[in-house]
C-alpha cells in the first residue's frame, strides 16, 4: 500500500497536545505541533493503517455533551490543509496525486472508502458503520457529509498555487502568503566566536543548522531524502513551541529529531539558498533563539549572543 496521510480530530479541547498518538496536532489557533518525524510509523492512529502513513489531527470536538460546541475552527482546517500540502510537496506529489487513496479522513478509512483494507465497518452510520469513528465526516455542525472531499479540494488548491505563479481563481482556494525572506546578513557571538547569521524581515536571527551543531559539538547526520537532521545527543528534551516554524513560511521544511524509535521532533526549520543566493544550493536553516532554547544554551541580549550549554 502506498504512503497515505490520515486526517483526524482528537475529540478533546482545543489546547490538547500529546505525543505518541499523531505525528502532528493542530491546535485551535491553527498552529501545527509537530511531535514525531513523518518518516516513522506510530502504532495506533488508524486501525490497520499505521504503516507507511502520517497522521495529522485537529484538537477539537471535545465538547460535552455536544461535541459540536468545540468544532474544528477555520484556522485549524487551514493549518491542517497547509501541513498536508507541505508533506505532499516534500514527497514530490502534485495536485492530481491528492485522491482518497493518498489523503483520507479517519471517517473514510474506518468505512474503507478506498477499498484497500477489508475490515468491519466502524465508520459513520450513514455509510453502514457502527459510528465509532466519524472524524471530519462534516467540517461544521449540520454540514454536508463530504468533509474528506472538501479537504482534498483545499489541499489541491494549495498545490496548484505552489505550482503556478498566477493561479486561476478556484472555489475554496486558500490564500497563500509570500515566502519568508532573509533581509540582510550579520554575525553574532556564540561560545565567544563569531557566528554568521541572517536576519529575516521580522527581525529574527537564523543560522545554518550545521554551523550551530558543530559549534556546540553535537553529533548529527543529515538525511536528504527525508529532510531530517538526526541528533545523537541524549540530554535533549524536546518541548512544544507556540511560535514554531509553520508551513506557511513558504519554504520547504526540515525536521530536527532525536535518534530514537518514535523520533520526537526537537524543532523545524526551512530549506532555502545560502545568504548570498549565488550557488542555488538549498541548505537547512533554523532560528537561533529556538535552537538555543531547545538545546539548553544560555542567551544574552543587547547584544544577542549565545553562551555555553547548561550542564556541559
Helices 147-163 and 74-90, interaxial angle, to 10°?
A: 60
- Of the candidates 138, 114, 115, 116, the one whose C-alpha atom is nearest the C-alpha of residue 126 is 138
pLDDT of residue 173: 43
Residue with cell 509570500: 178
Q: pLDDT tens for the chain, 312 residues: list them.
A: 578 999 999 999 999 988 888 999 999 999 898 888 888 888 888 988 888 899 999 999 999 999 999 999 999 999 999 999 989 988 889 999 999 999 999 999 999 998 888 889 999 999 999 999 999 999 999 999 999 999 999 999 999 886 663 434 444 444 556 788 898 999 999 999 999 999 999 899 999 999 999 999 999 998 877 788 888 876 777 766 667 787 778 888 888 988 776 778 888 899 887 555 554 567 899 999 999 988 989 999 989 999 998 764
pLDDT of residue 29: 93
pLDDT of residue 252: 84
Fold of 4-163: Lysozyme-like (3.40.80)
pLDDT of residue 174: 43
- Of the candidates 122, 149, 140, the one whose C-alpha atom is nearest the C-alpha of residue 73 is 140
Domain boundaries, the chain: 4-163, 182-309
Torsion of CA 112, 116, 118, 122, to 10 degrees: -20
pLDDT of residue 168: 43
pLDDT of residue 28: 95
Q: How far is CA 46 from the centre of its chain?
A: 18
Residue 17's region, left for phi above 0, alpha for psi from -120 to 50, else beta, is beta
Amino acid at each position: 500500500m502506498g504512503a497515505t496521510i490520515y486526517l483526524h480530530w482528537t475529540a478533546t479541547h482545543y489546547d490538547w497536545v500529546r505525543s505518541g498518538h499523531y505525528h502532528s496536532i493542530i491546535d485551535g489557533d491553527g498552529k501545527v505541533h509537530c511531535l514525531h518525524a513523518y518518516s516513522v510509523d506510530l502504532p495506533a492512529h488508524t486501525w490497520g493503517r499505521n504503516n507507511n502513513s502520517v497522521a495529522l489531527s485537529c484538537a477539537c470536538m471535545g465538547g460535552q455533551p455536544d461535541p459540536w460546541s468545540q468544532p474544528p475552527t477555520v484556522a485549524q482546517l487551514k493549518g491542517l490543509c497547509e501541513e498536508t500540502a507541505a508533506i505532499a510537496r516534500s514527497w514530490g506529489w502534485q495536485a492530481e496525486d491528492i485522491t482518497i487513496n493518498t489523503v483520507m479522513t479517519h471517517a473514510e478509512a474506518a468505512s474503507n472508502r478506498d477499498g484497500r483494507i477489508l475490515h468491519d465497518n466502524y465508520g459513520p452510520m450513514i455509510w453502514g458503520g457502527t459510528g465509532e469513528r466519524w472524524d471530519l465526516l462534516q467540517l461544521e455542525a449540520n454540514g454536508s457529509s463530504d468533509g474528506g472531499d472538501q479537504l482534498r479540494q483545499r489541499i489541491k488548491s494549495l498545490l496548484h498555487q505552489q505550482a503556478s505563479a498566477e493561479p486561476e481563481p478556484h472555489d475554496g482556494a486558500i490564500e497563500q502568503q509570500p515566502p519568508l525572506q532573509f533581509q540582510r546578513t550579520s554575525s553574532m557571538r556564540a561560545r565567544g566566536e563569531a557566528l554568521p547569521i541572517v536576519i529575516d524581515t521580522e527581525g529574527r536571527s537564523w543560522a545554518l543548522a550545521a554551523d550551530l551543531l558543530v559549534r556546540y559539538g553535537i553529533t548529527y547526520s543529515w538525511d536528504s531524502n527525508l529532510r531530517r537532521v538526526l541528533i545523537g545527543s541524549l540530554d535533549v528534551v524536546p518541548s512544544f513551541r507556540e511560535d514554531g516554524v509553520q508551513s506557511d513560511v513558504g519554504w520547504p521544511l526540515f525536521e530536527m529529531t532525536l535518534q530514537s524509535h518514535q523520533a520526537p521532533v526537537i524543532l523545524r526549520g526551512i530549506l532555502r539558498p545560502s545568504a548570498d543566493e549565488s550557488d542555488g544550493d538549498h541548505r537547512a536553516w533554523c532560528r537561533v533563539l529556538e535552537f538555543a532554547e531547545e538545546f539548553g544554551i544560555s542567551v544574552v541580549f543587547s547584544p544577542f549572543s549565545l553562551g555555553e550549554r547548561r550542564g556541559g
